[in-house]
Amino acid sequence: MTKEKLSLEDVRKQAKEKLKGICGVYKICDGDPSRLCQNQSYKSSLGIGGVGSGASFHNNILALEKFQLKMRLIGEHFEPDTNYSFFGYETSMPIMGASTSGVKSFGGDTVISEQDFCHSIVLGCKEAGTIGWRGHTYTYSLNTPFGINAIKEARGWGVKICKPIKQELLIEFFKKAEEAGALAVGIDIDGAGSYAMKTHNQLVYRKSPEEIRDLVQATSLPVIIKGVMTIEDALIAVNTGAAGIVVSNHGGRVLDHTPGTADVLQEIASEVKGKIKIMADGGIRTGYDVLKMLALGAESVLVGRDLIRAAVGAGSAGVRVHMEYLRETLKKAMLMTNCKNLEKISSEVLQRV
Protein backbone atom coordinates (compact mmCIF):
# COMPACT_ATOMS: atom_id res chain seq x y z
CA MET A 1 0.00 0.00 0.00
CA THR A 2 1.49 3.36 -0.96
CA LYS A 3 1.97 6.03 1.67
CA GLU A 4 -0.41 8.42 -0.11
CA LYS A 5 -3.29 5.94 -0.27
CA LEU A 6 -3.28 4.73 3.32
CA SER A 7 -6.51 5.79 5.02
CA LEU A 8 -7.48 5.92 8.67
CA GLU A 9 -9.83 3.01 8.01
CA ASP A 10 -6.99 0.94 6.47
CA VAL A 11 -4.87 1.57 9.54
CA ARG A 12 -7.69 0.48 11.84
CA LYS A 13 -8.41 -2.65 9.79
CA GLN A 14 -4.76 -3.69 9.85
CA ALA A 15 -4.54 -3.05 13.59
CA LYS A 16 -7.67 -5.13 14.19
CA GLU A 17 -6.15 -8.05 12.33
CA LYS A 18 -2.84 -7.83 14.16
CA LEU A 19 -4.29 -7.26 17.63
CA LYS A 20 -6.79 -10.13 17.57
CA GLY A 21 -7.65 -11.20 21.11
CA ILE A 22 -5.86 -8.18 22.61
CA CYS A 23 -7.82 -5.17 21.44
CA GLY A 24 -11.14 -5.00 19.59
CA VAL A 25 -10.14 -1.78 17.77
CA TYR A 26 -13.69 -0.57 18.37
CA LYS A 27 -14.97 2.50 16.60
CA ILE A 28 -14.35 4.39 19.83
CA CYS A 29 -11.82 3.20 22.39
CA ASP A 30 -13.94 4.00 25.45
CA GLY A 31 -12.82 1.62 28.18
CA ASP A 32 -16.37 0.35 28.59
CA PRO A 33 -16.36 -2.58 31.09
CA SER A 34 -17.65 -4.91 28.34
CA ARG A 35 -14.61 -4.35 26.12
CA LEU A 36 -12.15 -7.10 25.30
CA CYS A 37 -9.24 -5.31 27.00
CA GLN A 38 -11.06 -4.52 30.25
CA ASN A 39 -11.54 -6.24 33.61
CA GLN A 40 -8.03 -7.36 34.42
CA SER A 41 -8.12 -10.31 36.80
CA TYR A 42 -5.98 -10.23 39.93
CA LYS A 43 -2.28 -10.67 39.13
CA SER A 44 -2.87 -11.13 35.42
CA SER A 45 -1.18 -8.98 32.78
CA LEU A 46 -2.66 -5.57 32.08
CA GLY A 47 -2.80 -5.88 28.30
CA ILE A 48 -3.92 -2.64 26.71
CA GLY A 49 -6.84 -1.93 29.08
CA GLY A 50 -7.12 -0.36 32.50
CA VAL A 51 -5.99 -1.64 35.88
CA GLY A 52 -8.39 -3.69 38.02
CA SER A 53 -12.02 -2.96 37.25
CA GLY A 54 -10.93 -0.60 34.46
CA ALA A 55 -12.89 2.26 36.05
CA SER A 56 -10.06 4.81 35.79
CA PHE A 57 -9.70 4.20 32.05
CA HIS A 58 -13.46 4.45 31.52
CA ASN A 59 -13.65 7.56 33.73
CA ASN A 60 -11.39 9.42 31.31
CA ILE A 61 -14.00 9.03 28.59
CA LEU A 62 -16.95 9.74 30.89
CA ALA A 63 -15.25 12.94 32.10
CA LEU A 64 -14.81 14.23 28.55
CA GLU A 65 -18.43 13.38 27.76
CA LYS A 66 -19.58 15.84 30.46
CA PHE A 67 -18.51 18.69 28.18
CA GLN A 68 -20.10 19.63 24.88
CA LEU A 69 -18.98 22.24 22.37
CA LYS A 70 -20.81 25.52 21.77
CA MET A 71 -21.21 26.33 18.08
CA ARG A 72 -20.43 29.96 17.13
CA LEU A 73 -20.76 30.40 13.40
CA ILE A 74 -21.76 33.94 12.63
CA GLY A 75 -18.77 36.13 11.98
CA GLU A 76 -15.75 36.44 9.71
CA HIS A 77 -14.51 33.30 7.98
CA PHE A 78 -11.00 32.08 8.90
CA GLU A 79 -8.64 29.15 8.49
CA PRO A 80 -7.92 27.81 12.00
CA ASP A 81 -4.24 27.88 12.92
CA THR A 82 -3.20 24.82 14.95
CA ASN A 83 0.53 25.61 15.04
CA TYR A 84 2.05 25.06 18.45
CA SER A 85 5.38 25.89 20.04
CA PHE A 86 6.70 23.26 22.46
CA PHE A 87 9.58 24.70 24.50
CA GLY A 88 10.43 26.83 21.47
CA TYR A 89 10.18 23.98 18.94
CA GLU A 90 7.61 24.75 16.25
CA THR A 91 5.06 22.00 15.58
CA SER A 92 1.91 21.61 13.49
CA MET A 93 -0.51 20.86 16.34
CA PRO A 94 -0.85 20.82 20.15
CA ILE A 95 -1.21 17.04 20.00
CA MET A 96 1.70 14.66 20.64
CA GLY A 97 2.27 10.92 20.80
CA ALA A 98 2.08 9.81 24.45
CA SER A 99 4.98 8.06 26.17
CA THR A 100 4.07 4.41 25.71
CA SER A 101 6.11 1.21 25.83
CA GLY A 102 5.91 -2.54 26.31
CA VAL A 103 4.71 -4.40 23.23
CA LYS A 104 5.60 -7.60 25.08
CA SER A 105 3.39 -6.65 28.04
CA PHE A 106 0.33 -6.00 25.92
CA GLY A 107 0.95 -9.00 23.67
CA GLY A 108 1.95 -7.15 20.50
CA ASP A 109 5.47 -8.56 20.31
CA THR A 110 4.49 -11.21 17.75
CA VAL A 111 3.64 -8.46 15.25
CA ILE A 112 6.04 -5.62 16.09
CA SER A 113 9.33 -5.33 17.98
CA GLU A 114 9.79 -2.77 20.74
CA GLN A 115 12.36 -0.95 18.61
CA ASP A 116 10.07 -0.75 15.57
CA PHE A 117 7.20 0.35 17.77
CA CYS A 118 9.25 3.25 19.19
CA HIS A 119 10.54 4.12 15.75
CA SER A 120 6.98 4.18 14.32
CA ILE A 121 5.65 6.57 16.96
CA VAL A 122 8.59 8.97 16.87
CA LEU A 123 8.93 9.07 13.07
CA GLY A 124 5.18 9.05 12.37
CA CYS A 125 4.71 12.02 14.68
CA LYS A 126 7.67 13.81 13.12
CA GLU A 127 6.24 13.24 9.63
CA ALA A 128 2.96 14.81 10.80
CA GLY A 129 4.91 17.80 12.12
CA THR A 130 4.54 16.92 15.77
CA ILE A 131 6.47 15.17 18.54
CA GLY A 132 6.47 11.55 19.71
CA TRP A 133 7.19 10.90 23.38
CA ARG A 134 8.70 7.61 24.52
CA GLY A 135 8.09 5.65 27.72
CA HIS A 136 9.90 3.06 29.77
CA THR A 137 9.24 -0.49 30.87
CA TYR A 138 11.00 -3.51 32.34
CA THR A 139 12.66 -4.52 29.06
CA TYR A 140 14.51 -1.18 28.90
CA SER A 141 18.05 -0.67 30.22
CA LEU A 142 20.98 1.62 29.49
CA ASN A 143 22.07 -1.03 26.97
CA THR A 144 18.58 -1.42 25.48
CA PRO A 145 17.18 2.14 25.55
CA PHE A 146 14.60 1.56 22.79
CA GLY A 147 12.87 4.92 23.18
CA ILE A 148 16.10 6.91 23.25
CA ASN A 149 17.40 5.02 20.21
CA ALA A 150 14.30 6.03 18.25
CA ILE A 151 14.68 9.65 19.36
CA LYS A 152 18.32 9.61 18.29
CA GLU A 153 17.35 8.23 14.89
CA ALA A 154 14.90 11.14 14.54
CA ARG A 155 17.78 13.54 15.31
CA GLY A 156 16.55 14.24 18.78
CA TRP A 157 12.95 14.97 17.79
CA GLY A 158 11.29 13.33 20.77
CA VAL A 159 10.70 13.40 24.53
CA LYS A 160 11.84 10.67 26.90
CA ILE A 161 9.81 9.83 30.01
CA CYS A 162 11.45 7.44 32.48
CA LYS A 163 9.85 5.36 35.20
CA PRO A 164 10.58 6.58 38.75
CA ILE A 165 13.44 4.12 39.18
CA LYS A 166 16.53 4.55 41.40
CA GLN A 167 17.74 8.11 41.27
CA GLU A 168 21.28 7.43 39.96
CA LEU A 169 19.98 5.24 37.14
CA LEU A 170 17.35 7.81 36.23
CA ILE A 171 20.02 10.47 35.89
CA GLU A 172 22.00 8.16 33.59
CA PHE A 173 18.93 7.74 31.40
CA PHE A 174 18.49 11.52 31.33
CA LYS A 175 22.14 11.92 30.25
CA LYS A 176 21.63 9.38 27.48
CA ALA A 177 18.52 11.24 26.29
CA GLU A 178 20.51 14.47 26.34
CA GLU A 179 23.23 12.87 24.19
CA ALA A 180 20.53 11.70 21.75
CA GLY A 181 19.46 15.34 21.45
CA ALA A 182 16.00 14.86 23.04
CA LEU A 183 13.84 17.96 23.38
CA ALA A 184 12.83 17.23 26.99
CA VAL A 185 12.90 14.46 29.58
CA GLY A 186 10.70 13.54 32.50
CA ILE A 187 9.31 10.93 34.85
CA ASP A 188 5.90 9.36 35.09
CA ILE A 189 5.57 9.68 38.86
CA ASP A 190 2.47 7.48 38.67
CA GLY A 191 4.79 4.74 37.39
CA ALA A 192 5.28 4.07 41.13
CA GLY A 193 2.19 1.91 40.62
CA SER A 194 3.46 0.16 37.49
CA TYR A 195 2.23 -3.40 37.30
CA ALA A 196 4.75 -4.42 34.60
CA MET A 197 7.77 -3.08 36.50
CA LYS A 198 6.68 -4.71 39.76
CA THR A 199 6.03 -8.13 38.26
CA HIS A 200 9.48 -8.06 36.64
CA ASN A 201 11.26 -7.12 39.81
CA GLN A 202 12.20 -3.65 38.69
CA LEU A 203 11.86 -1.36 41.63
CA VAL A 204 9.94 1.88 41.23
CA TYR A 205 9.53 4.54 43.91
CA ARG A 206 7.53 7.52 45.04
CA LYS A 207 9.78 10.55 44.53
CA SER A 208 10.30 13.28 47.13
CA PRO A 209 10.28 16.98 46.16
CA GLU A 210 14.06 17.04 46.86
CA GLU A 211 14.65 14.12 44.52
CA ILE A 212 12.65 15.82 41.78
CA ARG A 213 14.60 19.02 42.37
CA ASP A 214 17.85 17.03 42.02
CA LEU A 215 16.64 15.57 38.73
CA VAL A 216 15.84 19.06 37.45
CA GLN A 217 19.37 20.16 38.44
CA ALA A 218 20.96 17.08 36.85
CA THR A 219 19.99 17.92 33.26
CA SER A 220 20.04 20.90 30.97
CA LEU A 221 16.77 19.72 29.38
CA PRO A 222 13.27 20.75 30.50
CA VAL A 223 11.94 18.18 33.00
CA ILE A 224 8.31 17.07 32.80
CA ILE A 225 6.36 15.46 35.64
CA LYS A 226 3.73 13.11 34.22
CA GLY A 227 0.95 11.67 36.36
CA VAL A 228 -0.28 14.74 38.23
CA MET A 229 -3.92 14.41 39.32
CA THR A 230 -4.15 16.89 42.23
CA ILE A 231 -3.50 20.57 42.92
CA GLU A 232 -1.11 19.52 45.70
CA ASP A 233 1.20 17.55 43.40
CA ALA A 234 0.97 20.28 40.74
CA LEU A 235 2.11 22.94 43.22
CA ILE A 236 5.00 20.76 44.38
CA ALA A 237 6.03 20.22 40.76
CA VAL A 238 6.10 24.00 40.26
CA ASN A 239 8.31 24.41 43.34
CA THR A 240 10.82 21.82 42.17
CA GLY A 241 11.59 23.88 39.07
CA ALA A 242 10.10 21.29 36.72
CA ALA A 243 9.22 22.77 33.34
CA GLY A 244 5.95 20.95 32.74
CA ILE A 245 3.30 18.63 34.12
CA VAL A 246 1.07 16.13 32.42
CA VAL A 247 -2.33 15.82 34.06
CA SER A 248 -2.71 12.08 33.61
CA ASN A 249 -3.86 8.91 35.33
CA HIS A 250 -1.68 6.90 32.94
CA GLY A 251 -4.69 5.99 30.82
CA GLY A 252 -6.20 4.36 33.94
CA ARG A 253 -3.43 1.79 34.18
CA VAL A 254 -1.88 2.47 37.58
CA LEU A 255 -4.64 2.89 40.18
CA ASP A 256 -8.25 1.74 40.10
CA HIS A 257 -11.00 4.30 40.84
CA THR A 258 -9.32 7.57 39.98
CA PRO A 259 -11.31 10.41 38.43
CA GLY A 260 -11.08 11.07 34.72
CA THR A 261 -8.42 13.63 33.83
CA ALA A 262 -10.97 16.08 32.36
CA ASP A 263 -12.60 16.08 35.82
CA VAL A 264 -9.48 17.46 37.54
CA LEU A 265 -7.75 19.44 34.81
CA GLN A 266 -9.61 22.72 35.25
CA GLU A 267 -8.96 23.03 39.00
CA ILE A 268 -5.29 22.15 38.54
CA ALA A 269 -4.92 24.64 35.69
CA SER A 270 -6.58 27.38 37.73
CA GLU A 271 -3.80 27.02 40.34
CA VAL A 272 -0.69 26.61 38.21
CA LYS A 273 -1.38 28.01 34.74
CA GLY A 274 1.36 30.45 33.78
CA LYS A 275 3.76 28.94 36.34
CA ILE A 276 4.42 25.69 34.48
CA LYS A 277 3.56 24.14 31.11
CA ILE A 278 0.35 22.08 31.46
CA MET A 279 -0.31 19.07 29.30
CA ALA A 280 -3.00 16.41 29.67
CA ASP A 281 -3.96 12.99 28.39
CA GLY A 282 -6.52 10.24 28.89
CA GLY A 283 -9.31 9.21 26.55
CA ILE A 284 -8.54 11.76 23.82
CA ARG A 285 -9.78 10.23 20.57
CA THR A 286 -10.59 13.17 18.27
CA GLY A 287 -9.78 16.82 17.72
CA TYR A 288 -13.08 17.58 19.47
CA ASP A 289 -11.69 15.98 22.63
CA VAL A 290 -8.47 17.94 22.13
CA LEU A 291 -10.42 21.20 22.03
CA LYS A 292 -12.17 20.24 25.28
CA MET A 293 -8.84 19.59 27.04
CA LEU A 294 -7.36 22.86 25.79
CA ALA A 295 -10.51 24.69 26.90
CA LEU A 296 -10.13 23.14 30.35
CA GLY A 297 -6.63 24.56 30.65
CA ALA A 298 -4.13 22.26 28.95
CA GLU A 299 -1.64 23.83 26.56
CA SER A 300 -1.28 20.59 24.63
CA VAL A 301 -2.29 16.94 24.85
CA LEU A 302 -0.96 13.42 24.42
CA VAL A 303 -2.62 10.46 22.74
CA GLY A 304 -1.86 6.91 23.86
CA ARG A 305 -3.92 3.90 22.79
CA ASP A 306 -5.03 5.20 19.39
CA LEU A 307 -1.41 5.73 18.39
CA ILE A 308 -0.38 2.33 19.70
CA ARG A 309 -2.98 0.80 17.37
CA ALA A 310 -1.84 3.00 14.48
CA ALA A 311 1.80 1.98 15.02
CA VAL A 312 0.98 -1.73 15.26
CA GLY A 313 -1.40 -1.48 12.30
CA ALA A 314 0.73 0.40 9.80
CA GLY A 315 3.98 1.61 11.40
CA SER A 316 5.08 5.22 11.05
CA ALA A 317 2.69 5.78 8.11
CA GLY A 318 -0.21 4.69 10.33
CA VAL A 319 0.87 7.08 13.06
CA ARG A 320 1.20 9.94 10.58
CA VAL A 321 -2.29 9.26 9.16
CA HIS A 322 -3.77 9.15 12.65
CA MET A 323 -2.08 12.39 13.70
CA GLU A 324 -3.32 14.12 10.56
CA TYR A 325 -6.85 12.97 11.37
CA LEU A 326 -6.55 14.47 14.85
CA ARG A 327 -5.30 17.76 13.45
CA GLU A 328 -8.11 17.92 10.89
CA THR A 329 -10.80 17.31 13.50
CA LEU A 330 -9.21 19.89 15.81
CA LYS A 331 -9.29 22.39 12.94
CA LYS A 332 -12.98 21.70 12.37
CA ALA A 333 -13.72 22.04 16.09
CA MET A 334 -11.88 25.39 16.16
CA LEU A 335 -13.68 26.69 13.08
CA MET A 336 -17.10 25.79 14.47
CA THR A 337 -16.46 27.28 17.93
CA ASN A 338 -14.91 30.52 16.67
CA CYS A 339 -11.30 29.84 17.68
CA LYS A 340 -8.95 31.24 15.07
CA ASN A 341 -5.83 30.05 16.87
CA LEU A 342 -4.90 28.18 20.05
CA GLU A 343 -4.79 31.38 22.14
CA LYS A 344 -8.48 31.94 21.41
CA ILE A 345 -9.51 28.64 23.02
CA SER A 346 -11.05 29.07 26.47
CA SER A 347 -13.71 27.55 28.70
CA GLU A 348 -16.19 29.77 26.81
CA VAL A 349 -16.39 27.09 24.09
CA LEU A 350 -17.66 24.51 26.57
CA GLN A 351 -21.08 23.68 27.89
CA ARG A 352 -21.23 21.32 30.85
CA VAL A 353 -24.03 18.76 30.59
Please report whether residue 158 would count as binding ligand FMN according to CB under 6 A: no
Q: Which is nearer to ligand FMN, 277 or 305 (CB)?
A: 305
Residue closest to 28 by CA, chosen among 288, 213, 320: 288
Please report whether residue 99 would count as binding ligand FMN according to CB under 6 A: yes
Q: Among 8-16, 62-70, 275-283, 317-325, which window interacts with ligand FMN (CB under 6 A)?
A: 275-283
Strand extents, DSSP E, the chain: 67-69, 84-86, 89-91, 95-100, 132-134, 158-162, 184-188, 223-228, 244-247, 277-281, 300-303, 350-352
Among 100, 149, 219, 240, binds ligand FMN (CB under 6 A): 100
DSSP for residue 221:
S
Please report whether residue 58 would count as binding ligand FMN according to CB under 6 A: no
Please report whether residue 30 would count as binding ligand FMN according to CB under 6 A: no
Q: What is the largest CA-CA distance in the chain?
A: 60
Shortest distance (Å) from residue 35 CB to ligand FMN: 12
For the window 251-270, what string marks contact with ligand FMN as x by the rule CB under 6 A?
A: x-x-----------------
Phi, psi for residue 11 in degrees, rounded to 5: -60, -45
Report the amino acid identity of residue 206.
R
Residue closest to 344 by CA, chosen among 36, 81, 67: 81
Please report whether residue 309 would count as binding ligand FMN according to CB under 6 A: no
Residue closest to 135 by CA, chosen among 258, 308, 322: 308
Q: Is 77 noted as a catalytic residue in this protein?
A: no
Among 54, 102, 145, 164, binds ligand FMN (CB under 6 A): 102
By CB under 6 A, the residues from 172 to 231 that bind ligand FMN are: 188, 226
Q: Which is nearer to ligand FMN, 283 or 287 (CB)?
A: 283
84-86 and 277-281: which strand pairing? unpaired
Contact 260, 62 (CB under 8 A): yes
Shortest distance (Å) from residue 188 CB to ligand FMN: 3
Quote the CA–CA distance of 327 and 82 in Å, as a whole number. Answer: 8
Please report whether residue 289 would count as binding ligand FMN according to CB under 6 A: no
Q: Among 87-95, 97-105, 122-130, 309-317, which window interacts with ligand FMN (CB under 6 A)?
A: 97-105
Q: Which of 58, 119, 136, 250 is catalytic?
A: 250
Quote the CA–CA distance of 57 and 29 in Å, as a whole number. Answer: 10
Please report whether residue 54 would count as binding ligand FMN according to CB under 6 A: no
Question: 336-351 burial by CB neighbour count: b if 16+ within 10 A, else e?
Answer: bbbbeebeebebebbe
Please report whether residue 120 would count as binding ligand FMN according to CB under 6 A: no
Please report whether residue 160 would count as binding ligand FMN according to CB under 6 A: no
Please report whether residue 135 would count as binding ligand FMN according to CB under 6 A: yes
Sites of contact with ligand FMN (CB under 6 A): 48, 60, 98-102, 106, 135-137, 161, 188, 226, 248, 250-251, 253, 281-284, 302-305, 308
Please give the positions annotated as active site: 250
